[in-house]
Structure 1
């Protein structure tokens, strides 16, 4: 799956940016509060407007303090997948259950420097694991390949039936890195500038999808 990130789109033309990615599987929306990360983007009112402008499932990545308080509102608004950071959630089990009860998939994100092992059991409560392959907060950063070990660990647990979730990756995904991520067992690829920096975003999505599918076939062969 390819999930273009509108963080790389023109914020003055977001409706047009959504139209440009109609072939996408999800649209990735980065919500930042200038506290958990040193950047401020958009919040629930803008997400509610975006939901009216597209039928592409919305993947909301909340890089915010106190997601236990705010995350469920995004699920209630109609977001398909709502992802919170394990480093910020106070009660991640309850939060996952509340998100699901509100009608969304529950996603858990983990920073590059946070180990995955302490949270394996917690992932049983979640539908998505978002592995950050850059430090959260800004687009356009370089891909951190070391995080792929986390994806491999979780992919093994999914393949052996111990977990049931989508492995997603966010940060520095482009034509040069998507195959590495696919070979590590990633299912969903967040791409910002690789899509919105292209002359034809829809064609860029198809190109990334084809590369990922080819790499996945090699991985599973």
Structure 2
């Protein structure tokens, strides 16, 4: 279970999420003053740690130290808080920049991702996708999931050559 914690003081929720069976605890970089200590706390509870950045936060805010300690990096392509928002194209270069800096790291995108936007995300280097409205609002959710998987796998194959 990947838990994306869009909360203030994310360190307060680590134990509750671990106790509930969380496998990944993803917090927003903007919500903590000490991301390394939070990543350590998450790891001590046997969870993977993800670090998210909001649309207005530059990818350079994720330092090498933070990225190397984290298990996954998440670029929000909408403003955190509610589903169904329009995909923000201006966030895609952050994915490419993070992929160039951290070629072995899982890089996730979340927000407005669907059949029309998956190509840009995958081609930029995202290998983990969150697609809520695109799947749950589709007439054929299974087909949408399959199309998203194909786009990511095709882009990953190109990037690895």
Q: TM-score, normalised by structure 2?
A: 0.92
Residue 213 of structure 1 deviates from its aligned partner by 2.0
Q: Deviations over 1:81-100 (max 9, x none)?
A: 11011111132111101111
Q: Which residue of 2 aligns with 1:186?
A: 126
Residue 220 of structure 1 deviates from its aligned partner by 4.5
Q: Which residue of 2 aligns with 1:134?
A: 78
Larger RCO, structures 1/2 (Cα 8 Å, 6+ apart) = 1
What SS class does the counterpart of residue 26 from structure 2 fall into? Answer: strand
Q: Deviations over 1:140-179 (max 9, x none)?
A: 11111111111111111222xxxx4210000010100001
Instruction: Tell me which of 30, 42, 60 is aligned to 1:117.
Output: 60
> Structure 2 stretches of 5 or more lacking a match?
none
Residue 219 of structure 1 deviates from its aligned partner by 4.3
Asked if the contact 1:60–1:81 (Cα under 8 Å) also holds between the matched residues in 2, the reply is: yes
Instruction: Tell me which of 21, 44, 52 is aligned to 1:101.
Output: 44
Task: Give the 5 Å matches for 1:161-176.
Answer: 164-176=104-116
Corresponding residue pairs, total: 160
Structure 1 stretches of 4+ moved >3 Å: 215-221
Q: TM-score, normalised by structure 1?
A: 0.68
Q: Which residue of 2 aligns with 1:157?
A: 101
Q: Deviations over 1:174-221 (max 9, x none)?
A: 100001100000010100111111233233211211122223334445
Structure having the higher Rg: 1
> Structure 1 stretches of 5 or more lacking a match?
1-57
CA RMSD after TM alignment: 1.5
